[in-house]
Amino acid sequence: MSRPLTLLLVRHGQSEWNAAGLMQGQTPHVPLTGLGHEQAAAAAEELARLQPGALLSSDLLRAVQTAEHCARTTGLTTVMTPALREQGYGDLEGRPSRELWDVVDWNDPHWAAAGGESLAELHGRVEAFLTHLCAEPPADVIALVTHGDTIRAAQAVAAGLGPDAMPVVTPHNGTVTRLEICE
């Protein structure tokens, strides 16, 4: 039996595309705004109080910049991984989110935009990552700097739910969500 792990899931601070209302997905180069840096610094302070023993991050710029705040504040070295990336939205990335309500089938976990990733694929990617993390944990408390849909997928996996039952609410930018896994 694996020992329980505590995950501290940090959603990156506000990015320029969050502020502009654009679909980001896995677009790699989108930086944080000034507010995003403030949110990242506040999340880093919260992490320091919670004392993680390892820090992993998505390799997308907005997460990397957030992880830099976390590394400075906690003294941990950041390990980057594409497994923590946001859901890929393919051809829809860079488009205004409000234009996509009639384009995206938000209720079908197997729907994907051209060149993108379905919620089922995201869920599978996150599940595989968490299974590996349970098998070879770098610490008992691990900070993961990542993205909203990835956090929702992790919450579903930890609760034993499939991609069709992922939480509806996405954590706000710069927040820390605590999750127990491997129990």
Q: Which residues does the annotation mark as catalytic?
A: 12, 86
The answer to whether 147 and 86 have CB atoms below 8 angstroms apart is yes
Q: How many CB atoms within 10 Å of residue 45?
A: 14
Question: Strand ranges (DSSP E) for 69-135?
Answer: 78-80
Q: How far is C-alpha 121 from the geometric centre of its chain's CA atoms?
A: 15
Q: Backbone phi, then psi, for 13, in 5-degree steps? A: -65, 170
HSE (CB half, 13 Å, CA atoms) of 167? 17
Q: How far is CA 91 from CA 76, 86, 100, 120, in A?
A: 36, 15, 11, 18
User: And the tokens for 104?
Assistant: 């995206």
